[in-house]
Amino acid sequence: MSTKKLIKVIIVEDQKLFANGLKEILNKFEGVEVAKIIENGNLVSKELDTLKADVIFLDLNLIGKNGLEVLQEIREQHSDLLIIILTMYQEKVLVEKAKKLGANAYLTKDATVEELKKALFLKDTDHYFTSKAITNTKQIDSKNNFDDNKILITDREKEVLKCLAKGKTKSELAEILKTSTNTVNIHLKNIQRKLNIYNPQELISYVLNNNII
Amino acid sequence: MYLTTISSSLSNKPENMAKYQNTKQLHTRIIFLIAYTFFLLVPIQKITADSTDIYNLQPIIINSDFQNLKIDSFIKIWQTEKKLKPEDLLELVNKNDIDAAPHVTSQGFSFNYFWIVFLLKNESNKTKNIYIEIDNPHIDTIVFYSYNPINNHCEQIGYGGDMIPFYQRTILNRRFIFPIKLEKNEEKHFLLLIDKQKTSVSFPLRLWDQFTFNKNEGISNLLLHLYFGSLLLVALLTIIAGLLFRNWMLITYAIYASLMGLFIFTSLGFSFQFIYPNYYPISDKIMFPFAVILIIAFTEFSNSFIGTKQYSKKIYRILHYIYAISILNLGVWAIFHDYMLNFPGLLVSIQYTIILFFFGIIIYSLIRFYRFNKHKTISYTLAISALIIGFIFHLLIEYGYIEQSNLAVPPIMLGAGIELLIFAIAILIEIKKINDKKNELSLIVGENQRKITKAFIEGSEQEGTRISQELHDNIGSRLALLKNKITQSDTNKLELHEDLNNIYNDVKKLSHELSPSILQIAGFRSTIEQFLLDFTDISGIRTNLSYHKVPKLKENIELQLFRVIQESVQNCLRHSNANKLDIQIIGHENELIMSIDDDGNGFDISVPFTINGNGINNMKTRIESINGNFELSSTPNTGTFLLISIPI
């Protein structure tokens, strides 16, 4: 009988009892061996370098760095590693972010042993596996604009820029927009900061060239 | 004269017979007598022949069951340029120096005086009391005579007209009514003088038995009361509703209906009777400016009803030009009034042209806007058709093409009545539609509100469940384990210490409400983004996030800011009907600036808000607890703008 390659597992979990319990369960699976339990997020990266694990169960709540930070760190260095998030949190923001950062699966701590097995022996690594408690619905975010690519200028800021382009002073602006000079100043500061342009002339020409007003 | 000579010579004849024994003389006398008679009779024939030739008057027969009769076919009319004495006119007629006028009405405008003659004969066997009615309330002066055709001696029976105070009329009625008393078998000639210069002339004449007239008047007045009463009631109700609901369409309808009612009231002659009975110079001048004001009111109402403003700004403006031109026309009339007396038709014709132009534009608009609101355009078309038809008939009568007495009800009254009724129904339907839509929308808002509340409750319950589970499963079991360890003899103090520490840390985490941990783990930006995505999913309100140069903030600051975002976003959904929400978080050298901006209704900040009340105070407290500055500005219809700056 040829020796099948043992699947080496690392558990990153700061709750000792849970970690030990998980270890017991995993070790019972055929061909699976838990190599180490790590509690501190700061130590994971180093341990991975030495241990050469195949699978890592990663909690989000850790001592030191939190799970997502660890995830980001180790995914960069280990592209083949099967990373399974195992946490009590069900929040969408975490599920989505873990997916974005490269996790292969996301299990809640109330998952079943079957789901555990499924995640462990995950063949299709492109498909993001989540346990039942999580609704993995695709989000249509066409209505929203989070300015990664294009810097957004709000409508009020556009008003400010229009008036500036016409050559109005700040106090005139305040009167036109029916607000205080303080607010006008803040608008300007924000615009300058966003675009990284502080010179008024440059600002106007940038804005005109890019059809912002 | 002739007759007396003949009778004397005839009576003298027997006496003379004794005197003149000469038979020859007798024969001569007889021949002379025959010749005399012949010459006498011929002129007499000529007189009577002349009278019937000139007048050719058919006597109007009044018998015992006479009720009423239109006498237009029995009269003769003459026109003179100067105002003569009635006797002089009759003389002119006798001399055949004047031609008869062909029609009862004068087409177009006239500067002449009208003389009307007719002959009545009472063939019943009792005295008859008759009224002659001239059914035109707008006559300057009218004088009624009876005359003797033999000597043209005239006796004035009645006097009336717009130029004298109302209560000086012979019979108090908005039309001109004069009494005629005929003894049995009496025959009388009558002459009527009508002075109605500078306007179109039509004077339908009718004879009434007195009792029949009074009965008819009673019924007619009742109907008129009902008509004007309903109009007034509708106008009152609509103006109150219009003011209550701030609905311009209702207000313009009320104004238009009142003006239209008043216009008809005046054109029927009631205004002179009730409103200004002594101010006779007014009646001449009132109709034209009134008509202009009416047109302006109707244009405004049409604009509002059809809703031209939202479909075509151009047409909306063109209709406003009508106001300008009408007012200009009115101005010309007011200033050059005396000069324009020579051209009375001109300004009125201009106004009629404006009206036609107006209707042309309206028809064009109706065709264009048909597809937007079918019911509205159909009802409007029906309504103004009624009015236009009435108006056309009115014009035809005014210019003399149709006899007014052919129609039972003044056409403008009928047309206007139908038109106002159709408009009233259409407006009610419109209002019902608006109301239904409002109800529908508020149902949707209520539904969304429920969904959010439900989600919120579910979320917090889930949270609560998890916390309690966490406490039970995790903390509880570990404490149990710890308890076990302590009771055992070989306990390691260090191990116990570590266990306790861990439990303490977890309890601390738990007590922070799980969310802050999530904020910490997921990150400030990601949490906000996810929150906004979820929000857009539920509410449909677009959200934009601008996040620049934000340093890593203290846990508490991030938490408070996040809570403020949650609160203001919920407020936006609940109250503002916004379409878009912009959130900006921008880091500067010494401060962080966060702004939340929506394009909804806004609200009046000066009013102490009981709806948002706690929420906004809450936000303020949170920001102040992190030493920040909180500024909320809002004006109705420009949305709400929240500006927060935190020192960092």
B554 domain residue, yes or no: yes
Structural domain span for residue A189: 155-209
Q: What is the distance between the alpha carbons of residues B335 and B162, in angstroms, rounded to a whole number?
A: 23
- For residues B265 and B312, membership in a common domain is answered with yes
A172 domain residue, yes or no: yes
- For residues B197 and B166, membership in a common domain is answered with yes
pLDDT for residue A3 is more than 60: no
Which CATH number covers residue B636?
Answer: 3.30.565.10
Nearest to A88 among B470, B533, B536 (CB): B470
Q: How far is CA B376 from CA A210, B305, B371, B381, B430, in A?
A: 46, 8, 10, 9, 8
B129 domain residue, yes or no: yes
Q: What is the pLDDT of residues A40-51, one digit of tens each?
A: 999 999 999 898
- For residues A25 and A100, membership in a common domain is answered with yes
Per-residue confidence (pLDDT) for residue B572, from 0 to 100: 85
pLDDT band at A208 (very low <50, low <70, confident <90, very high): confident
For residue B81, what is the enclosing H or E element?
none
Per-residue confidence (pLDDT) for residue B42, from 0 to 100: 45
The total number of structural domains in chain A stands at 2
Nearest to A152 among B521, B527, B544 (CB): B544
- For residues B15 and B73, membership in a common domain is answered with no
B347 domain residue, yes or no: yes
CB contact under 8 A, B533 and A60: no
A60 inside 8 A of chain B by CB? yes
Q: Which tops the pLDDT comparison, A71 or B470?
A: A71
- For residues A97 and A201, membership in a common domain is answered with no
B374 domain residue, yes or no: yes
Q: Which of B546, B547, B580, B641 to mutate to test the interface with A (most CBs of A within 10 A)?
A: B546
Strand B153-160 and strand B591-598: the pairing is unpaired
B417 domain residue, yes or no: yes
- For residues A19 and A83, membership in a common domain is answered with yes
- For residues A20 and A90, membership in a common domain is answered with yes
Per-residue confidence (pLDDT) for residue B539, from 0 to 100: 83
| Listed residue (A6, A105, A102) closest to A51, CA to CA | A6
Per-residue confidence (pLDDT) for residue B378, from 0 to 100: 87
Which CATH number covers residue B231?
Answer: 1.20.1070
- For residues B20 and B79, membership in a common domain is answered with no
Structure tokens, B624:
């102040």
Per-residue confidence (pLDDT) for residue B51, from 0 to 100: 37
A105 domain residue, yes or no: yes
Q: What is the pLDDT of residues A13-36, one digit of tens each?
A: 999 999 999 999 999 998 999 999
Per-residue confidence (pLDDT) for residue B22, from 0 to 100: 56
Q: What is the mean pLDDT of chain A?
A: 85
pLDDT < 50 positions in chain B? 1-17, 19-21, 41-54, 512-514
Cβ pair B639, B598 in contact under 8 A: yes
The ipTM, to two decimals, is: 0.83
A64 domain residue, yes or no: yes
- For residues B243 and B377, membership in a common domain is answered with yes
The total number of structural domains in chain B stands at 4
- For residues B273 and B393, membership in a common domain is answered with yes
Give contacts of B 449-488 with A, CB under 8 A.
462, 466, 470, 474, 477-478, 481
Per-residue confidence (pLDDT) for residue B512, from 0 to 100: 47
pLDDT for residue A84 is more than 90: yes
Per-residue confidence (pLDDT) for residue B49, from 0 to 100: 30
A86 domain residue, yes or no: yes
Q: What is the distance between the alpha carbons of residues A195 and B541, in angstroms, rounded to a whole number?
A: 26
Three-state secondary structure call for residue A128: coil
Per-residue confidence (pLDDT) for residue B595, from 0 to 100: 93
Nearest to B522 among A93, A156, A189 (CB): A93
- For residues B281 and B261, membership in a common domain is answered with yes
Range A92-98 average pLDDT: 90
Per-residue confidence (pLDDT) for residue B326, from 0 to 100: 84
Per-residue confidence (pLDDT) for residue B606, from 0 to 100: 59
Using N-to-C axis directions, what is the helix angle for B210-245 and B248-267, rounded to 10°? 160
Q: Give the residues across from A108 on adjacent strands.
A: A87
Which CATH number covers residue A62?
Answer: 3.40.50.2300
- For residues B197 and B226, membership in a common domain is answered with no
Structural domain span for residue B25: 2-50
Q: Minimal Cα distance from B582: which residue of A?
A: A154
**DSSP states of B106-157 as a string?**
EEEE--SEEEEEEEEEE-SSS-EEEEEEE--S--SEEEEEEEETTTTEEEEE
- For residues A108 and A66, membership in a common domain is answered with yes
pTM of the model: 0.48
Strand B141-148 and strand B153-160: the pairing is antiparallel
Within 8 A of B531 by CB-CB distance, chain A residues are: 93
